[in-house]
Structure 1
Amino acid sequence: MTLGILVVDDEPDVEDLFRQRFRAELRRGELVLHFAVSAEQALRNLNEGLQPEAVLVLSDINMPGMSGLEFLQHVKANLPQVPVIVVTAYGDAENRRRALDIGATELVTKPVDFVALKKLVSSVIEQKFAA
């Protein structure tokens, strides 16, 4: 089964970085990475349907327009079954508390430790399908 992950970040190099770091999983057909450069684009993508469907979202907090925390509120209100991991350069206690209070599964700080992120992604997906 191929799983879809939606990555939401306005930084132009994020797509290349994630494709490089998840290269083995992509080649094996385990994952498809979907990308959105804004929260608004991500909401459109989720509403229009991604193939394969996004079973997990990785979202930045600080983006122009709608923030990642506002995006998280929309996802939790409309797609509560989709876990969201917040990825941010601002991992302070206040952002962590706000993200978790809104419904984030976890908060990961930048620069991203991709070994830890892959373990977290696997754990979240396992929990999602075990439920």
Structure 2
Amino acid sequence: MSSEPSAVVADGAALKGRSGLVRIWYACGYSLAGLRAAYAGEAAFRQLVWLSLLLIPLALLLDVSRVERAVLIAVVFLALIVELLNSAIEATVDRISFELHPLSKQAKDMGSAAQLLALCLIGLVWAVILIP
């Protein structure tokens, strides 16, 4: 058995295995799988999806400028994105260990704080645009 370390691949593309349209196709599949997993396994994500299904059509119906409409919709999508990242952080921490550890708690709490700020941003932006 050799005691030499295994070769390190300097080019990350060599590890990907696919390129061009095939890579994009597979990436879309992975993204859809992530959305399905989040919807199936994360109650907070499901709640945000339902909130989005209410707020986005409402934004389309409101008598606001195109830029205001875009901002109203963008902050809703931002909250979904933050929740996906928060869920990914939680899954990663749980994958490492279920042991209670201050750094694990800190990582999960920071993800939760990010989501709280995203939800506050929805409220703030919607209030600023809609309240005369």
TM-score by length of 1: 0.29
Q: Name the structure with the higher helix share.
A: 2
Q: Name the structure with the higher strand share.
A: 1
TM-score by length of 2: 0.29
Which structure has the greater CA radius of gyration? 2
